[in-house]
Structure 1
Amino acid sequence: MFRMLRALPAVSIVTLPLLVGCGEEPRTDLERIQAAGELVVATRIAPTSYQDGDLGPTGPEYAMAQQFADELGVELRVEVHSGPEAIFRALDRGEADLAAAGLTRTGARNEERPFGPAYQYASALVINRGGAGTRPNDASDLVGKRVGVVTGSSHIDFLEQARAEHPGLAWMEVGEETTEGLLQRVRSGDLDYTIMDSHEFQAARRYFPGLRASLDLSGPRPLAWALPRDADSGLQQRVAEFFDTIKTDGTLSRILDHHYAHLQEFDYVNVRSFMHQVDHRLPHFQSLFEEAASQSELDWRLLAATGYQESHWRAGAISPTGVRGVMMLTQPTAQFVGVSRRTDPAQSIHGGARYLRVLKDRLSGIPEPDRTWLTLAAYNIGHGHLQDARDITERQGGDPDAWVDVKERLPLLRQQKWYSETDYGYARGDEAVGYVESIRTYYDILRRLRGPDGQDTTLARAD
């Protein structure tokens, strides 16, 4: 376990009444949290919970916890643990005020401790390698196979129930294992199967296109925050009110959409092709991406992901509209960034990086990662059209600085009743949305395969 302090500026803070008088000891959990000035949240490293990424702390659980801390008027402190078992221990030792870690609210767990309301639902899936003879039809097909699950996970309950009907069923509990670690073991053949919640596999399958979800063991089950066994009713009620509020005002939908929307459309063939080109084409251009990104203060993997979306890393690429090169620059854009020969890989990549930097600078003041996603949209559709979409977003009561809100309005630029009232007119805004979401997928994969220094990661080296 390691500790990190996260204290982000609160966008809108609702301060609790001052309940603790001078010299008085806090009487309730909420009073104690307010007196300490921080909310301590236990979580785990996972794309669906919390990650300290290149653009700062991220993850749906982190976003919700930060929002809750803001509403309490306190700072957020994140405590990272290895898995459910360690998280529950931390709660009951008084080391955390609550757990936000994609935990399933099962009947057995609910008898042991209070949980908050359900905010999402997930199914327990059996994951295996693709290929003939590997797909299980029911739990009996797991007998005699190497099945691995995380120690203390709710999936063990299903295996124990299944063993009552199939006495030969056995499994191994793996401690301190990440989602990707388990999937690597299945991919390498060290395990035949693992069991994983559907939202976790949805987030990770891009990095393991050869793996399949073959069997649903549970059907949809609620995910919820967990509280200490002795949590008082005041804290329970405050958590319930918080989720009621963010469900009603749309905040919860925006958080989930922000982290999951670009994962909805999974193109197996496209992802396999991308990962193939990471090994075969990217090495010819990687040093150029690294150099150009460094000069423009960008992440080289983001620049490379943009280049793949534009040209599939082909120096001689040309579109019917005349854009050319790795970064598919138009003639006016090439002139603007000082590129004389668009099909020259070095010129194209450096020019594309400079142009991304210009666009990003025009969007200064917007928090990350939204600023990056809006920059990519501007690269595709033009800064003017992006501003039109942001104006429409604001007129409709959305947040013009939030990608999740702007992307809902970009397709309106195809409709005459909307584009006729804008400064820059008609644009294929729906294509810009797909463009950004594709780059986000490629960027996510590259961050798992290549480190910031350009070296292979453990995931890239896995068999």
Structure 2
Amino acid sequence: MTDGFHRPRRRGVLLLAGLGLALWPVDPTPPPGAALEGVKSRDFLTVHTRNTPLTYYEGRLGPTGFEYELVRRFADYLGVSLTLEDDHNVSSVLASVREQGDLGAAALPLDPATPGVIYTQPVMLMQPIVVYRRGLHPPRTPADLVGLQIGTLKGTGISRVMHELQDSVPELSWKEATDLEIASLLKRVEDGSLDAAVVFEHQFRLNRLFFPEVEDGFKVGEKVAMAWALPDNQGMGLIDAANEFLVTLRASGKLDMLIDRYFGHDDYLEYVGARTFIQHVHGRLPRYEELFREAARRENFDWKLLAAVAYQESHWKPDATSPTGVRGMMMLTNATAEEMNISNRLDPAESIEGGARYLRSIEQRLPEEITGNDRLYMTLAAYNVGLGHLYDARKIVSMLGRDPDRWDDIRDALPLLQESKWYERTRHGYARGSEPVIYVRNIQRYLEILDYVDHNQQQFHQLNARLPDDNDNALFQIVPPKSKG
């Protein structure tokens, strides 16, 4: 089995064809397994998708996204490597599937009437909802939408829902955009360009923390099935394999776990606290961002990780002081500041530098067997509770017959340091072990938000470079009210 990952643009795929690789048989009636045999013979699966946080994007640790996770597992299931073509919107995904194959995975609505493609069984169901700008009179029924400036994304399955709604509310009108993604649509609701939008519930759940001035209204229409699309003239081999893969993944419970991991946590930060965090991202963080970047370069960290730690410690307040005497942006003790050669804990540059250096020193003292995210999360926990208590938690994990190199097991053991029957058997004794668990969880979420904001800012910059904000008429197609005649 291979696990290679390639991400060529369109030119790369055309070059392969130019070299004479027979991607598709010429025979208009190919054998039943033609597409599957083609994938296996060239040893890679080509997937057409969209570069969005909900589907596929380059994250802090490499490629990520719900659809990416699925198609990567499908490629592994077939025993081939994966090639992604992400230079798409929904309509161009379908066009490329028809013209090039192999598979389209881009939050596509299952529509059997789509010419030239055939869909797999549903991957998941998507519930359309109305969202609106905070401060407007809350819409609660379809009739409340009449007269509002409403935006949707074309090709996502929302159009069909809206037209069905218009059958019962003929006065309803809305705008549809092809070249926008969900973040750009919600941004227009927040800044007043639109009054409301109709989006999928899971999209809003994932985005609501980044657009705190957008509220959810009510569910509208029936759920829409998301599915993968394949060309309808290449036999049934590949689609049968895809359906078999999805059935197996669903039966194992792994598909539901993946859906929950990406779309299930709407409340991982208390909402008011999340709104405050976003406000500070735009208000306080810019003053210190370059300091985080400089310290991150010196200690080989992601700057957003250092920023997330600093927010958890001090809410980016350089003069923060705790009752126990820790002070500054990174809340260093006197002893730690001395150890890290920091003379002024209240100087933000020194504090950030000292915190980054201390974080790295903890990481370097962990056993080599701890790797990846397990190593990162244990480092963060030790920054909060101390390395000695982390080692005590590792001892408890071993007593329980579990794996001391896995964060999931350490996370379960840390709160036991509050119970005498456990901490009396450790070297460093009692600790408020629940705190580092919350500490790490919060930093994970802050980091997710910072990654997401950073990614969407890049998307906004790219969008603004080719589509001026003052010409939204060029982005949207207006769907007028139904004629009463």
Q: TM-score range by the shorter chain?
A: 0.7 to 0.9
Amino acid at match of 2:144: D
Residues in 1 aligned to 2:409 and 2:97: alpha-carbon distance in whole angstroms: 36
Q: Which residue of 2 aligns with 1:101?
A: 106
Residues in 2 aligned to 1:430 and 1:42: alpha-carbon distance in whole angstroms: 44
Q: What SS does structure 2 have at the residue aligned with 1:190? A: coil
> 1:83·1:150 contact (CA, 8 Å) conserved in 2?
no
> 1:411·1:429 contact (CA, 8 Å) conserved in 2?
yes
Q: TM-score, normalised by structure 1?
A: 0.80
* 1:174-204 deviations in Å (ceiling 9; x for gaps): 0121111111111121112211111111221
- Equivalent in 152, 159, 163 of residue 160 of structure 1: 163
Q: Which residue of 2 aligns with 1:65?
A: 71
Matches within 5 A, 1:26-45: 27-45=33-51
Q: Which residue of 2 aligns with 1:199?
A: 202
- Equivalent in 111, 115, 119 of residue 114 of structure 1: 119
- Equivalent in 52, 62, 65 of residue 56 of structure 1: 62
Residues in 2 aligned to 1:456 and 1:5: alpha-carbon distance in whole angstroms: 19
Residues in 2 aligned to 1:437 and 1:259: alpha-carbon distance in whole angstroms: 16
Q: Do structure 1's residue 439 and structure 2's residue 443 form an aligned pair? A: yes
Q: Which is worse superposed, 180-189 or 338-347?
A: 338-347
Q: Which residue of 1 aligns with 2:129?
A: 125
Matches within 5 A, 1:301-320: 301-320=304-323
Shift of 1:148: 1.6
Q: Which has the higher contact order (CA 8 A, sep 6+)?
A: 2
Residues in 1 aligned to 2:358 and 2:450: alpha-carbon distance in whole angstroms: 21
Q: Alpha carbons of 1:318 and 1:247: their partners in 2 closer, same or farther (altered >3 Å)?
A: farther
Shift of 1:432: 3.0
The structure whose Rg is larger is: 2
Q: Which residue of 2 aligns with 1:83?
A: 89
- Equivalent in 213, 216, 228 of residue 216 of structure 2: 213
> 1:82·1:176 contact (CA, 8 Å) conserved in 2?
no
Q: Which is worse superposed, 156-165 or 46-55?
A: 46-55
Residues in 1 aligned to 2:347 and 2:432: alpha-carbon distance in whole angstroms: 28
Q: Alpha carbons of 1:113 and 1:181: their partners in 2 closer, same or farther (altered >3 Å)?
A: same
Shift of 1:55: 2.7
Q: Which residue of 1 aligns with 2:16?
A: none
- Equivalent in 151, 154, 159 of residue 151 of structure 1: 154
Q: What SS does structure 1 have at the residue aligned with 2:384? A: helix
Q: Which residue of 2 aligns with 1:13?
A: none
* 1:214-238 deviations in Å (ceiling 9; x for gaps): 1111365543333333464433332
> 1:393·1:409 contact (CA, 8 Å) conserved in 2?
no
Q: TM-score, normalised by structure 2?
A: 0.77
Shift of 1:310: 0.7
> 1:128·1:194 contact (CA, 8 Å) conserved in 2?
yes
Q: Which residue of 1 aligns with 2:23?
A: none
> 1:47·1:200 contact (CA, 8 Å) conserved in 2?
no
Q: Which is worse superposed, 273-282 or 103-112?
A: 103-112
Q: What SS does structure 1 have at the residue aligned with 2:318? A: coil
Q: What SS does structure 1 have at the residue aligned with 2:329? A: coil
Q: Which is worse superposed, 272-281 or 295-304?
A: 272-281
Which residues of structure 2 form unaligned runs of 5+? 1-5, 10-29, 471-485
Residues in 2 aligned to 1:164 and 1:293: alpha-carbon distance in whole angstroms: 56
* 1:361-408 deviations in Å (ceiling 9; x for gaps): 44768775665445433433444555636984997778955x667656
Shift of 1:317: 1.8
Shift of 1:343: 3.0
Amino acid at match of 1:123: Q
Q: Alpha carbons of 1:369 and 1:124: their partners in 2 closer, same or farther (altered >3 Å)?
A: farther
Q: Alpha carbons of 1:288 and 1:199: their partners in 2 closer, same or farther (altered >3 Å)?
A: same
- Equivalent in 327, 332, 350 of residue 329 of structure 1: 332
- Equivalent in 360, 380, 383 of residue 379 of structure 1: 383
Aligned residues: 437
* 1:93-127 deviations in Å (ceiling 9; x for gaps): 2x332222233446766996231343x44311112
Q: Which is worse superposed, 360-369 or 243-252?
A: 360-369
Residues in 2 aligned to 1:209 and 1:49: alpha-carbon distance in whole angstroms: 22
Shift of 1:356: 2.2
Q: Alpha carbons of 1:334 and 1:253: their partners in 2 closer, same or farther (altered >3 Å)?
A: farther
Q: Alpha carbons of 1:140 and 1:312: their partners in 2 closer, same or farther (altered >3 Å)?
A: same
Residues in 1 aligned to 2:111 and 2:419: alpha-carbon distance in whole angstroms: 47
Shift of 1:357: 2.3
- Equivalent in 268, 277, 280 of residue 277 of structure 1: 280
